[in-house]
Structure 1
Amino acid sequence: MLWRISRAFQFAADRYIPDSFVFCVILTLLAFVFGLVVSDGGPLKLVLGWYNGLWTMIGFAFQMSFMVICCGAAAKAPLVERFLARVARMPSSASVAMVVMLVFGFVSSLINWAFSSILTPIFAMQLSRNVKGLHFPLAIAAGYTTMVLGQTWCPSASVYALVATKGHFMEKAIGIWTQDVTVYNPINTVLFFVMVVTVILLGVYTKPPANELITYQPKEEPAIAATVARDEQETLADKMNSSRVLMLLIGLAGLAVIIDSFMTKGIIKSLNFNFVIFMFLTLNTFLYNTPSKFVTAFKDMMRPAAEVMLQFPFYGGIMGMMTSSGLAKVIAGLLIKVATADTIYAWSFFSAAFANLFIPSQGGQWIVQGPILMEAAKALNANIPLVMNAFVHGDEVTNLIQPLYVIPALALVGMKLKEVWGFMAFICVFWLVIVTAGLLILPKIMM
C-alpha cells in the first residue's frame, strides 16, 4: 500500500518536476509575482532585490561546492570505496540495510548536518550496490530526510544556537533561551522521535515490486588516480608533480590543525561547516598521495559541483526579492492574525513551511519571521520555546519539496531531482500531518 501511494507521488514527479535549476527559476518567478501583489515598489524594486540577493549566497555556494568536491573525491578513492563496500555487505536484507542507513543518517545529522548530507548518500550508494532489493531513489530520499529532520533536535541548528547566544538581535524582546529549554523540551523531543520512527517505518515498508526496483547504476568514469608516466627522460618538474613528500607535508599540517582543534575545543564544538570540509580536504592528501593524483581527483569532481555553484546564488536572489517586497512578513502576519492560544504553534509551523519555499535559510528566515512570531507568542501568552520548535519544524519540512539542500547529494550520486522528488514529497506529507496533529494535541496534554 505504501509503495502504491509513494508511486503516485513519484509518477507526478516524473511528469511535472523539471531539473533542479528550472525548479529554482520557477520559484523565482513565483516570488516575483507574489511580490508584485504585496509590494508598492514595482517590478524594478523586486529585480534589484533579486540582484542584491544573488551575492548574499556566493560564499555559501563556494562552501557547498567545495564540500561536494572534497567529499566526493574522498568517497571515490579506491581505499574508501573498498572500506564502504565491506561495511555495506554486512546487512543481510534490504530492510536491515535501510534501517542501518537511516540510523546512521540520524546519528550523523545530530553531530553535524554536513557530515550527514554527504556521507548518508554515499553510504546509500554502496548499500544499493551490495544489498539486493534496496530501491536507490527511496534510499536517497529517506537518507536526506534524516539530515533535515535531525536539525529539529540538534543544538547547533541556526535558531537554537542564535537565541542561546548573548547579544542576539531579539535579546531585549525575548531574552536568552538555552538549548536545554528550546531543543530538548518534552514536546519537541516527542515530536522528533515519533518522526524518527515514522521515517524508518516508511523506509522499511515502502517496498517496490521486483519489476520496479531501481538500484544504483554507476556511470563509467575515468580513473581518478592518474599517475605521471615515468621514463628515462623524467624531468625535475615530473618529479615534483609525482612527489609524495609534498602531499605528506600538507597532510601533516592539516592533521596538526585538526588535533589542535579537538584538544582545545572538543570534537563536537570543532565541527563547524568549514572544519568539516577541511577534514575531508586533509583526508584527500593521504588518499591521493601525489600532486598529480590529487589535482586529477578534484578535477573529476568539478562537474557534479557545477549545479551547486550555479543554483545557490539564484536562491539568494529569491531571498532578496522576498525581503525587498516584504512578502514573508505579510504571509507571517496574515497567518498569525487568525491564530489563537491553542493554534499558534500549528500556524507558526505552517507559516515557516511556506516561507521556507522561498527563503531556504533558517537564519535568514528567522530574521524575517522571528520578531512577528515572538510578538504573537507573547500576546497570546504562548510557550515561546514551542513556537520556536514549530518554526524549525516548518523551516525543515518543506526542504523535502524545496530542493536546495538535496542538490549536493544528487550531484554526488549522479541523479536528477525528479528521480527522488516524489519520494521526498511522500515523506513530507506524513511529516506535515503528524507534526500538525502533535502541535494541536500535545500542548494540551503536556503543558
Structure 2
Amino acid sequence: MARAALRSAAWAERWFPDAWVFAALGVVVVAIAVLGFGATPVVTANAFGDGFWSLIPFTMQMAFVVIGGYVLATAPVVARFIDLLARAPRSGRGAICYVGLVSMLASLLSWGFSLVFGGLLVRALARREELRMDYRAAGAAAYLGLGAVWAMGLSSSAAQLQANPKSMPPGLLSITGVLPFTQTIFLWQSIALTAVLILVSLLICWVTAPSDAQARIAQDFGAVESATPVLPPRRRPGEWLEYSPVLSILIGVLGLGWLGYEFANKPVVTAIANLNTYNFLFLTVGLLLHWRPRSFLNAVTRAVPSTAGVLIQFPLYGGIAALLTHAPGLDGQTLAHRLSGVFVHIASTDSFPLVMGVYSSVLGFFVPSGGGKWLIEAPYVMQAANDLHVHLGWAVQVYNAAEALPNLINPFWMLPLLGVLGLKARDVVGFTFIQFVVHVPLVLGLLWLLGLTLPYVPPVMP
C-alpha cells in the first residue's frame, strides 16, 4: 500500500496541472453545459461576469485565514511555546502521535495555523538528538489536521459561509437560508464523528510509526533545523516606529476593545461564526505577540505567497456559481436545478449522505479547493437535500467530512507544510495513504449512520 501511494504521488506531481487549471476547466465545462441546455451566449457571458466578482469579500476572508494562522504561529512567544511543547514526548513513536494530536486539535481552530504550527513542532522535535523520531511519519502526522478533521471545525469555509448571509450568493441563500453553527459543526453527531476520526487517526499513527532502528531522522533528508527567523537590527532612524511596540499596543488595544464589545453583546457562537471577527481576532493577537510592527510585517510577507491559489481561484468559483444558478435554459430551468434533479433521482433520504460523500470526495481530489468548491456544489446539492428532506446542516457536514479525504493523497495542500519541513510529497504520502484507506469506509459509514438520527428542518431565511 505504501509503495502504491508513493507511485500515485509521483504520478500526480508529474501530470497534475495547477489547481487553477481545474477551476478554469470547470468554468468552460459549465458554460458549455449551460449553452447546451438553451441559454443564450449573452445570458451565459453576463452570468459569468456578474458572478466573477461576487465573492471578493469571501475570497479575502479565506486569504486572511491563511495569513492570520501563519502570523500567530510564527510569533516569538508562540515559537517558544512550541519548543516547550516539544519537550513532552519520550519516544519517537509517541512524538509522532503527539504531533498528530496537536495538528488535528489546532486545525479545528484554523487549518492555516495547523499547517504552520504542526510543521514548526516537528522541526522542534527533530532538534532533540536523543529522540529517534521518523521525520517522514512526523510530517505526515502534522498534515492530519488538513487530512482528517479541519473542515469539521471553525475554519470550515462551508460552515462559515452558510452561517454568514452577507457572504452567501443570493441564489444559495434562497435555497438554504442561514445555517448557524449549532446546525452544522456543533451538532452532537458532528462532534462524535470528529472524535472518532481523531482517535482512529492517532491509532494509525501509532501502528505505522517506524521503529527506532528503521526511523529516518531529519538529518537524513538534509533538513536544516533553524529557529523562527530573527528580526534584523534597525538601520535607519525612519524605522524607529517599525521597531517600537507603540503602534502595536495602540492598535491592539483598539482591536481588543472591539472584540470585547462583540463577545459581550452577542452569544459566543454567533460572534465567532462571523468570519470577519474570527480573522480579526487572529490578526490582533498576532500583532500583539509579534510586539514590533516589523516582525509582524515580515510574518505577513512570508504568509502572502500561500494565498495565491485562493485569490486567483475563488473569482472563478463565483463565476461558476452564477452560471449554475443564474443562466436559465430554454425551459427556464438553471443547470443547478437540473443537477439537483439527478441527485433526487439516484439518492433517497437515507442514502443521500453516502451518495453525496462519495461525490464530494472524488471531486475534491481533482479540485483541491480548501472548501471553495462548496460554492459550486452547494446550489444543486442543497436543493436536492431540500427535495429529499435531508437535514441541511448535516448535508454541509457530509461535504466537510468527505472533502478532507482526498487531501490525504493529493499533494496540493501539503505544499506549505512541506516547505516548512524541507520534504517532498513522496516522502510523507506513504503514511497518509494508509490513513486514507482506513478513513474512506469509516467516514462514509458514519455519515450514513449518523444522518439517520437527524430530522429535516426547513430553511430559515434571515
1:100 aligns with 2:98: yes
Residue of structure 2 in register with 1:201 after alignment: 203
Structure 2: 5+ residue stretches without partners: 325-333, 456-462
Moved more, 27-36 or 332-341: 27-36
Moved more, 21-30 or 151-160: 151-160
- Match for 2:378 among 362, 366, 371? 366
Deviations 1:166-195 (A, max 9, x none): xx9889988887766665666555544332
2:301, 2:287 → 1: CA distance? 17
| Partners of 1:124 and 1:139 within 8 A in 2 | no
1:155, 1:64 → 2: CA distance? 8
How far the C-alpha of 1:13 sits from its partner, in A, is 0.6
- Match for 1:157 among 156, 159, 180? 159
- Note closer, same or farther for the CA distance 1:321–1:267 as it changes in structure 2 (3 Å cut): closer
Secondary structure in 2 matching 1:157: helix
Deviations 1:94-117 (A, max 9, x none): 332333333334444445556545
Residue of structure 2 in register with 1:350 after alignment: 358
How far the C-alpha of 1:225 sits from its partner, in A, is 0.8
1:292, 1:281 → 2: CA distance? 14
| Partners of 2:72 and 2:286 within 8 A in 1 | yes
Q: Give matches, 1:41-440, under 5 Å.
A: 55-56=53-54, 58-111=56-109, 115-116=113-114, 118-130=116-128, 131-134=131-134, 135-148=137-150, 150-151=152-153, 157-158=159-160, 161=163, 188=190, 190-208=192-210, 213=216, 215=218, 217-218=223-224, 223-229=229-235, 237=238, 239-265=240-266, 269-271=270-272, 272-295=274-297, 297-298=298-299, 301-318=300-317, 320-321=319-320, 323-324=322-323, 332-354=340-362, 356=364, 358=367, 360-361=371-372, 364=375, 365-375=377-387, 377-378=388-389, 387=395, 389-398=397-406, 400=408, 409=417, 424=432, 426-439=434-447
1:177, 1:282 → 2: CA distance? 27
1:14 aligns with 2:20: no
1:153, 1:303 → 2: CA distance? 21
When normalised by structure 2's length, the TM-score is 0.70
Secondary structure in 2 matching 1:228: coil
Structure 1: 5+ residue stretches without partners: none
What letter corresponds to residue 361 of structure 1 in structure 2? Answer: G
- Note closer, same or farther for the CA distance 1:54–1:162 as it changes in structure 2 (3 Å cut): closer
Q: Give the paired residue count.
A: 427
| Partners of 1:32 and 1:321 within 8 A in 2 | no
How far the C-alpha of 1:75 sits from its partner, in A, is 3.4
1:420, 1:52 → 2: CA distance? 42
| Partners of 1:47 and 1:321 within 8 A in 2 | no
Deviations 1:370-403 (A, max 9, x none): 012220x23xxx6666555434433444455667
How far the C-alpha of 1:9 sits from its partner, in A, is 1.3
How far the C-alpha of 1:201 sits from its partner, in A, is 1.6
Residue of structure 1 in register with 2:21 after alignment: 25
1:184, 1:70 → 2: CA distance? 23
- Note closer, same or farther for the CA distance 1:399–1:335 as it changes in structure 2 (3 Å cut): farther
How far the C-alpha of 1:141 sits from its partner, in A, is 2.3
Secondary structure in 2 matching 1:132: coil
Moved more, 143-152 or 90-99: 143-152
How far the C-alpha of 1:142 sits from its partner, in A, is 1.4
How far the C-alpha of 1:54 sits from its partner, in A, is 5.1
1:14, 1:252 → 2: CA distance? 49
- Note closer, same or farther for the CA distance 1:371–1:7 as it changes in structure 2 (3 Å cut): same
Deviations 1:206-239 (A, max 9, x none): 2246667364834779944122247xxxx5x354
1:64, 1:82 → 2: CA distance? 27
Secondary structure in 1 matching 2:133: coil
What letter corresponds to residue 383 of structure 2 in structure 1? Answer: P
What letter corresponds to residue 36 of structure 1 in structure 2? Answer: I
How far the C-alpha of 1:270 sits from its partner, in A, is 4.2
2:47, 2:425 → 1: CA distance? 27
What letter corresponds to residue 88 of structure 1 in structure 2? Answer: A
